[in-house]
Protein backbone atom coordinates (compact mmCIF):
# COMPACT_ATOMS: atom_id res chain seq x y z
CA UNK A 1 0.00 0.00 0.00
CA UNK A 2 1.17 3.51 -0.86
CA UNK A 3 0.30 5.95 1.93
CA UNK A 4 0.10 9.61 0.84
CA UNK A 5 -0.31 12.54 3.22
CA UNK A 6 -1.69 15.92 2.15
CA UNK A 7 -1.12 18.75 4.62
CA UNK A 8 -1.73 22.49 4.57
CA UNK A 9 -3.81 25.33 5.93
CA UNK A 10 -7.58 25.26 6.19
CA UNK A 11 -8.91 26.26 2.77
CA UNK A 12 -5.69 25.43 0.93
CA UNK A 13 -7.28 22.77 -1.28
CA UNK A 14 -6.31 19.55 0.50
CA UNK A 15 -9.69 17.89 0.01
CA UNK A 16 -9.87 19.05 -3.61
CA UNK A 17 -6.47 17.56 -4.42
CA UNK A 18 -7.26 14.33 -2.56
CA UNK A 19 -10.53 13.93 -4.48
CA UNK A 20 -8.85 14.71 -7.80
CA UNK A 21 -6.12 12.15 -7.17
CA UNK A 22 -8.67 9.57 -6.08
CA UNK A 23 -10.66 10.10 -9.26
CA UNK A 24 -7.54 10.00 -11.44
CA UNK A 25 -6.09 6.85 -9.83
CA UNK A 26 -9.44 5.10 -9.69
CA UNK A 27 -10.98 2.45 -7.48
CA UNK A 28 -7.61 1.34 -6.11
CA UNK A 29 -7.44 4.60 -4.13
CA UNK A 30 -9.36 5.82 -1.06
CA UNK A 31 -9.25 8.95 1.09
CA UNK A 32 -9.35 9.51 4.85
CA UNK A 33 -9.95 12.89 6.50
CA UNK A 34 -8.07 13.76 9.68
CA UNK A 35 -11.09 15.86 10.70
CA UNK A 36 -12.98 12.62 11.34
CA UNK A 37 -10.58 11.95 14.23
CA UNK A 38 -11.40 14.93 16.43
CA UNK A 39 -11.70 13.88 20.06
CA UNK A 40 -15.27 13.57 21.25
CA UNK A 41 -16.39 15.71 24.23
CA UNK A 42 -19.72 14.27 25.37
CA UNK A 43 -19.42 15.76 28.85
CA UNK A 44 -19.27 19.34 27.57
CA UNK A 45 -22.30 21.43 26.69
CA UNK A 46 -22.82 22.54 23.10
CA UNK A 47 -21.74 26.05 24.03
CA UNK A 48 -18.56 24.72 25.63
CA UNK A 49 -17.79 22.60 22.58
CA UNK A 50 -18.15 25.56 20.24
CA UNK A 51 -15.30 27.44 21.92
CA UNK A 52 -12.76 24.61 21.84
CA UNK A 53 -9.67 25.21 19.73
CA UNK A 54 -10.28 22.96 16.74
CA UNK A 55 -7.08 24.09 15.04
CA UNK A 56 -4.51 22.91 17.59
CA UNK A 57 -2.82 19.51 17.14
CA UNK A 58 -4.00 18.17 20.50
CA UNK A 59 -7.66 18.33 19.44
CA UNK A 60 -7.11 15.18 17.32
CA UNK A 61 -6.93 11.59 18.52
CA UNK A 62 -3.55 10.84 16.94
CA UNK A 63 -3.29 7.43 18.59
CA UNK A 64 -6.60 6.24 17.13
CA UNK A 65 -5.69 7.58 13.69
CA UNK A 66 -2.31 5.85 13.81
CA UNK A 67 -3.94 2.60 14.92
CA UNK A 68 -6.44 2.73 12.03
CA UNK A 69 -3.71 3.50 9.51
CA UNK A 70 -1.60 0.57 10.71
CA UNK A 71 -4.64 -1.72 10.59
CA UNK A 72 -5.31 -0.76 6.97
CA UNK A 73 -1.66 -1.21 6.06
CA UNK A 74 -1.86 -4.74 7.48
CA UNK A 75 -4.65 -5.42 5.00
CA UNK A 76 -7.49 -5.33 7.54
CA UNK A 77 -10.63 -3.12 7.48
CA UNK A 78 -11.56 -0.35 9.91
CA UNK A 79 -14.86 1.28 10.81
CA UNK A 80 -15.41 4.71 9.28
CA UNK A 81 -14.89 7.58 11.69
CA UNK A 82 -17.15 10.62 11.24
CA UNK A 83 -17.55 14.05 12.80
CA UNK A 84 -20.79 16.06 13.07
CA UNK A 85 -19.80 19.72 12.65
CA UNK A 86 -23.29 20.94 13.53
CA UNK A 87 -23.05 19.41 17.01
CA UNK A 88 -19.25 19.35 17.41
CA UNK A 89 -19.46 15.64 18.23
CA UNK A 90 -18.04 12.44 16.86
CA UNK A 91 -20.65 10.39 15.01
CA UNK A 92 -18.81 7.26 13.89
CA UNK A 93 -20.45 4.93 11.38
CA UNK A 94 -20.78 1.14 11.16
CA UNK A 95 -19.49 1.24 7.58
CA UNK A 96 -16.28 -0.70 6.97
CA UNK A 97 -13.37 0.79 5.06
CA UNK A 98 -11.32 -1.85 3.29
CA UNK A 99 -7.68 -1.26 2.36
CA UNK A 100 -6.69 -0.60 -1.25
CA UNK A 101 -3.44 -0.01 -3.07
CA UNK A 102 -3.35 3.74 -2.38
CA UNK A 103 -4.43 5.49 0.81
CA UNK A 104 -4.60 9.30 1.05
CA UNK A 105 -4.86 11.13 4.36
CA UNK A 106 -5.60 14.85 4.30
CA UNK A 107 -5.65 17.26 7.24
CA UNK A 108 -4.19 20.41 8.73
CA UNK A 109 -2.03 18.45 11.18
CA UNK A 110 -1.45 15.18 9.34
CA UNK A 111 2.33 15.83 9.45
CA UNK A 112 2.29 16.55 13.20
CA UNK A 113 2.78 12.98 14.44
CA UNK A 114 6.24 11.68 13.58
CA UNK A 115 4.98 8.10 13.85
CA UNK A 116 2.47 8.82 11.10
CA UNK A 117 4.92 10.73 8.92
CA UNK A 118 7.31 7.79 9.00
CA UNK A 119 4.65 5.59 7.39
CA UNK A 120 4.00 7.96 4.48
CA UNK A 121 5.38 7.11 1.07
CA UNK A 122 4.71 10.63 -0.24
CA UNK A 123 4.09 13.87 1.69
CA UNK A 124 2.40 16.76 -0.14
CA UNK A 125 2.13 20.28 1.27
CA UNK A 126 -0.42 22.77 -0.08
CA UNK A 127 1.17 26.22 -0.30
CA UNK A 128 -1.53 28.85 -0.82
CA UNK A 129 -1.68 32.51 0.23
CA UNK A 130 -3.49 32.90 3.60
CA UNK A 131 -6.02 35.42 2.25
CA UNK A 132 -7.10 32.94 -0.44
CA UNK A 133 -7.44 30.23 2.22
CA UNK A 134 -9.61 32.54 4.32
CA UNK A 135 -11.95 33.31 1.44
CA UNK A 136 -12.33 29.62 0.67
CA UNK A 137 -12.94 28.85 4.35
CA UNK A 138 -15.67 31.51 4.58
CA UNK A 139 -17.44 30.11 1.52
CA UNK A 140 -17.19 26.51 2.80
CA UNK A 141 -18.30 27.25 6.37
CA UNK A 142 -21.34 29.24 5.24
CA UNK A 143 -22.47 26.81 2.53
CA UNK A 144 -21.56 23.46 4.10
CA UNK A 145 -21.53 24.02 7.86
CA UNK A 146 -24.25 26.63 8.36
CA UNK A 147 -22.05 29.19 10.11
CA UNK A 148 -22.29 32.96 10.04
CA UNK A 149 -19.61 35.46 9.10
CA UNK A 150 -19.15 36.78 12.65
CA UNK A 151 -18.47 33.31 14.02
CA UNK A 152 -16.10 32.50 11.18
CA UNK A 153 -14.16 35.74 11.72
CA UNK A 154 -13.88 35.17 15.47
CA UNK A 155 -12.62 31.61 15.01
CA UNK A 156 -10.13 32.70 12.36
CA UNK A 157 -8.62 35.42 14.55
CA UNK A 158 -8.56 33.44 17.80
CA UNK A 159 -7.51 29.94 16.66
CA UNK A 160 -7.09 29.45 12.89
CA UNK A 161 -4.48 32.11 12.17
CA UNK A 162 -2.49 31.63 15.43
CA UNK A 163 -2.29 27.85 14.90
CA UNK A 164 -1.29 28.34 11.27
CA UNK A 165 1.54 30.63 12.32
CA UNK A 166 2.65 28.36 15.16
CA UNK A 167 2.36 24.94 13.51
CA UNK A 168 0.89 24.51 10.06
CA UNK A 169 3.12 26.83 8.05
CA UNK A 170 6.16 24.96 9.43
CA UNK A 171 4.99 21.53 8.22
CA UNK A 172 6.32 22.50 4.78
CA UNK A 173 9.74 21.33 5.99
CA UNK A 174 8.47 17.73 6.07
CA UNK A 175 7.09 17.77 2.52
CA UNK A 176 8.41 15.77 -0.41
CA UNK A 177 6.41 17.93 -2.84
CA UNK A 178 5.07 21.47 -2.43
CA UNK A 179 1.83 22.06 -4.34
CA UNK A 180 1.29 25.74 -5.16
CA UNK A 181 -2.04 27.30 -6.06
CA UNK A 182 -4.43 24.79 -4.51
CA UNK A 183 -5.93 21.47 -5.50
CA UNK A 184 -7.44 22.38 -8.88
CA UNK A 185 -4.13 22.27 -10.74
CA UNK A 186 -4.85 19.66 -13.41
CA UNK A 187 -1.21 19.41 -14.42
CA UNK A 188 0.03 18.60 -10.92
CA UNK A 189 -2.78 16.05 -10.54
CA UNK A 190 -1.66 14.33 -13.75
CA UNK A 191 2.00 14.37 -12.64
CA UNK A 192 1.27 12.99 -9.17
CA UNK A 193 -1.19 10.38 -10.41
CA UNK A 194 1.28 9.26 -13.06
CA UNK A 195 4.02 8.98 -10.45
CA UNK A 196 1.82 6.90 -8.15
CA UNK A 197 0.64 4.64 -10.97
CA UNK A 198 4.23 4.10 -12.09
CA UNK A 199 5.21 3.06 -8.56
CA UNK A 200 2.24 0.71 -8.33
CA UNK A 201 3.24 -0.83 -11.66
CA UNK A 202 6.76 -1.44 -10.33
CA UNK A 203 5.27 -3.16 -7.32
CA UNK A 204 2.99 -5.28 -9.48
CA UNK A 205 -0.21 -3.64 -8.22
CA UNK A 206 -1.27 -2.49 -11.70
What residue spans define the domains of the chain?
Answer: 2-196
0.85 cut: is pTM over it? yes
Instruction: Give, for all 206 residues of the chain, the pLDDT tens digit.
Output: 999 999 999 888 999 999 999 999 999 999 999 999 999 999 999 999 989 999 999 999 999 999 999 999 999 999 999 999 889 999 999 999 999 999 999 999 999 999 999 999 999 999 987 777 777 778 777 877 777 787 778 878 888 889 999 999 999 999 999 998 777 778 899 999 999 999 999 888 65
Name the maximum alpha-carbon separation found in the chain. Answer: 52
Decide: 34 and 107 in contact? Cβ < 8 Å.
yes
CB 4 within 8 A of CB 110: no
**Whether CATH 3.40.50.300 fits 2-196:** yes
- For 26, 192, 203, the CA distances from 52, given in Å and listed in that order, are 37, 36, 44
CB hemisphere CA count around 136 (13 angstroms): 18
Amino acid sequence: MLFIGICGASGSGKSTLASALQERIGERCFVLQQDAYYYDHPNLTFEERTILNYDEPEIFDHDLLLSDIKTLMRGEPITRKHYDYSQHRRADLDELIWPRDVMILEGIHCFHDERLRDLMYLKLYMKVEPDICLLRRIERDIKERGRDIDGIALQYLTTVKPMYDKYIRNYVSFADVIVAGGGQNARIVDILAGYVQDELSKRGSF
